[in-house]
Amino acid sequence: MSETLTITDNRTGKQYDVPVHDGTIRATDLRQIKVTPGEFGMMTYDPAFMNTANCKSRITFIDGDKGVLLYRGYPIEQLAEQSDFLETAYLILFGELPQQRQYDDWTHEITLHTMLHTNIAKLMEGFRHDAHPMGMFISTLGALSTFYPEAKEIFSPESRRLQTVRLIAKVPSIAAYAFRHSIGRPFNQPDNDLSYPGNFLSMLFRMTEPRYKPNPVLERAMEVLFVLHADHEQNCSTTTMRTIGSSHADPYSALAGAAAALYGPLHGGANEAVLKMLHEIGSINNIPAFIKRVKAGEGRLMGFGHRVYKSYDPRAKIIKRMADLVFDVTGKNPLLEMALELERIALEDEYFVSRKLYPNVDFYSGLIYQAMGFPVDMFPVLFAIPRTAGWIAQWEEMLNDPDQKIVRPRQIYQGSPPRDYAPRDKRK
Active site residues: 267, 306, 362
The minimum distance between CB 301 and ligand ACO, in angstroms, equals 4
Quick one: 106 or 352, whose CB is closer to ligand ACO? Answer: 352
By Cβ distance, which residue is nearest to ligand ACO?
Answer: 305
Write the CB contacts of 129 (distance below 8 Å, at least 6 apart in sequence).
Answer: 181, 182, 184
- Count of other CB atoms within 10 angstroms of residue 204: 23
- Residue 288, classed as helix, strand or coil, is helix
By the rule CB under 6 A, 270 interacts with ligand ACO: yes
Residues 351-379 as b or e (16 or more Cβ within 10 Å = b): ebeeeebbbbbbbbbbbbbbbbebebbbb
Q: Is 55 exposed, middle or buried (0-12, 13-18, 19+ CB in 10 A)?
A: middle
Interaction between residue 169 and ligand ACO (CB under 6 A): no
| Near ligand ACO by CB under 6 A: residue from 84, 362, 377, 396 | 362
Give the 3-state secondary structure of residue 4.
Answer: strand
Give the Cα-Cα-Cα angle 368, 370, 373 (nearest 5 degrees): 110
The nearer residue to ligand ACO, 90 or 363, going by C-beta atoms, is: 363
**Cα 194-200-201 angle, rounded to 5 deg:** 90
Sites for ligand ACO among residues 278-297 (CB under 6 A): 294
Q: Tell me how far, at minimum, the Cβ of 361 lies from ligand ACO, in Å.
A: 5
What is the pattern of x (binds ligand ACO, CB under 6 A) and - over residues 102-121? --------------------
Q: Does 213 bind ligand ACO (CB under 6 A)?
A: no
| Alpha-carbon span 389 to 22, nearest angstrom | 27
Closer to ligand ACO by CB, 256 or 357: give it. 357
Residue 379 as a binder of ligand ACO (CB under 6 A): the answer is: no
Q: Are 126 and 142 in contact (CB under 8 A)?
A: no
Q: In this structure, how many other beta carbons lie within 10 angstroms of the beta carbon of residue 57?
A: 18
DSSP 396: H
Task: State the nearest-atom distance from the C-beta of 373 to ligand ACO, in Å.
Answer: 22
Q: List the one residue from 357, 371, 381, 393 that touches ligand ACO (CB under 6 A).
A: 357
Q: Which is nearer to ligand ACO, 257 or 305 (CB)?
A: 305
Instruction: Give CA–CA dist 30/46, Å, rounded.
Output: 14
Asked whether position 79 contacts ligand ACO by CB under 6 A, the answer is no
284 contacts 338 by C-beta, under 8 angstroms: yes
Our CB check for ligand ACO shows the closer of 161 and 300 to be 300
161 is an interface residue for ligand ACO by CB under 6 A: no
- 306 is an interface residue for ligand ACO by CB under 6 A: yes
| List 205, 290, 304, 391, residue binding ligand ACO (CB under 6 A) | 304
For ligand ACO, the binding residue among 14, 292, 344, 355 (CB under 6 A) is: 355
Site string for ligand ACO, 188-207 (x = CB under 6 A): --------------------
Question: Does residue 277 interact with ligand ACO by CB under 6 A?
Answer: no
**CA 146 vs CA 1, 111, 287, 375: distances in Å:** 53, 22, 49, 30
> Of the listed pieces 88-96, 282-290, 332-340, 357-365, which binds ligand ACO according to CB under 6 A?
357-365
Considering only 302, 323, 372, 392, the residue that binds ligand ACO (CB under 6 A) is 302
Maximum C-alpha span of the chain? 80
Per CB under 6 A, 359 contacts ligand ACO: no
Selected binder of ligand ACO within 300, 311, 340, 407 (CB under 6 A): 300
Question: What are the residue ranges of helices labelled H in 229-269?
Answer: 236-246, 251-263
Which residue lies nearer to ligand ACO by CB, 221 or 361?
361
Among 69, 241, 249, 361, binds ligand ACO (CB under 6 A): 361
Q: Cβ distance 366 to 381 under 8 Å?
A: no
Cβ–Cβ contacts within 10 Å for residue 93, how many?
Answer: 23
Q: Distance of CA 17 to CAs 20, 41, 44, 71, Å?
A: 9, 15, 17, 36
Work out the angle between the directed axes of helices 216-228 and 85-94 (0-180°, nearest 10).
20
Check binding of 382 to ligand ACO (CB under 6 A).
Answer: no
Among 66-74, 199-207, 262-270, 280-288, the segment contacting ligand ACO (CB under 6 A): 262-270
Q: Which is nearer to ligand ACO, 252 or 304 (CB)?
A: 304
**Total residues binding ligand ACO (CB under 6 A):** 17
Contacting positions for ligand ACO (CB under 6 A): 266-267, 270, 294, 300-307, 355, 357, 360-362
